[in-house]
């Protein structure tokens, strides 16, 4: 599905990247998976429709764009996302702070 000009893969998703697994108002990001260079709303969507070989972003690549704001389409680097305090730096839309619990599934810690 095309979200703000970016292809995002999921079984089910709304126009701000909320998926069947995470669909609260503040669930509005997609993560570009390092292993397949493809955006997914969450690790569960990647497990269902992804490459089958999950791999996390290495720290040396944290300066690359890997997060999509589902509200405005702004792409954040991993570093920007980790420092953004759960808010899009461009449009100030709130992101789910609970995503921090899953960082180890996306980024080298």
pLDDT at 71: 98
Q: List, in order, residues 6 or more apart from 42 with CB less than 8 Å away.
A: 19, 21, 22, 31, 102
d(CA 80, CA 88) in angstroms, rounded, equals 9
Task: For residue 5, name the pLDDT band (cuts at 50, 70, 90).
Answer: very high
Q: List, in order, residues 6 or more apart from 31 with CB less than 8 Å away.
A: 39, 40, 41, 42, 43, 66, 67, 68, 106
CA atoms within 13 A on the CB side of 30: 32
pLDDT tens, residue by residue, 49-100: 999 899 999 999 999 999 999 999 999 999 999 999 999 999 999 999 999 9
Domain enclosing residue 37, as ranges: 2-106
**Short-list 66, 65, 67, 70, CA closest to 28:** 70
pLDDT at 82: 97
**Short-list 75, 90, 73, 92, CA closest to 26:** 92
Please count the structural domains in the chain. 1
């Amino acid at each position: 599905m095309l979200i703000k000009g970016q292809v995002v893969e999921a079984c089910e998703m709304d126009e701000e990247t909320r998926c069947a697994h995470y669909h609260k108002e503040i669930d509005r990001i997609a993560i570009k998976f390092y292993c397949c260079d493809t955006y997914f709303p969450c690790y569960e969507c990647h497990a269902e429709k992804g490459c089958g070989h999950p791999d996390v972003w290495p720290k040396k690549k944290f300066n690359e764009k890997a997060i999509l704001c589902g509200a405005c389409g702004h792409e954040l680097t991993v570093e920007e996302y980790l420092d953004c305090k759960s808010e899009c730096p461009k449009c100030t839309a709130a992101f789910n702070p609970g995503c921090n619990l899953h960082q180890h599934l996306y980024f080298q810690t």
